[in-house]
Amino acid sequence: MDRLSTSIPFLAVLVGVRLSLSGLQVNPAGKRGVLKFTDVVKETKKFITYHQSIKLSRAQEKIKKEALSVIPAPCCSNYSIATCCCPCNVAKSVWGLSNFLITEKDYDAAKVKKAVTAWVQYIYPNGYAGDACYQNRCEAAFHKDGCGGMNEQEIVF
């Protein structure tokens, strides 16, 4: 076996490790640019970490605002997810995912909007009423039409 053929599986493992660390699969099943979410617990925690750690430039903030200002917040749909009515865990996960995609994947507003919409659909598999904040469901899990809590140290799943 030559050196190239033995290094290809190693490279594949490295790529897989990098993608799993990012919290999402960027290229499942060979489809370029397609996001696939696989673990709501791990990905929510990772995205909230991105919200805390990734700082955007003014130009990047503009991309984020353009993408998120047209998406209703799933927990308080009279606000956009760009602002939400408060910094709940669903909002922080969206903001962190956006920060990651803009800084690490060079996503434009359209791609961020598409990815965030897919994330919201993933974490709310039964849909959402858009009123969790007004119906005392802030501390309820996403799949129970809640905000996942308010404290990123105590995410409700």
Q: 24: burial class by Cβ within 10 Å (0-12, 13-18, 19+)?
A: buried
Given this model, what pLDDT does residue 81 score? 98
- Which residue from 87, 94, 100 is spatially nearest to 71, judged by alpha carbons? 94
* Sequence-ordered alpha helix ranges (H) in 23-141: 40-53, 58-68, 89-104, 109-123
- 42, two tokens: 């791990």
DSSP reduced 3-state for 35: coil
Distance of CA 115 to CAs 98, 105, 112, 148, Å?
8, 12, 5, 19
- Residue-wise pLDDT for 30-67, tens only, equals 445 568 999 999 999 999 999 999 999 999 999 999 99
Q: Torsion-angle region of residue 30: left (phi > 0), alpha (psi -120 to 50) or beta?
A: left
SS3 83: coil
Which residues face 64 on adjacent strands?
A: none
| pLDDT computed for residue 103 by the predictor | 98
User: What's the confidence (pLDDT) of residue 80?
Assistant: 98
**Which segments in the chain show pLDDT lower than 50?**
1-22, 27-31
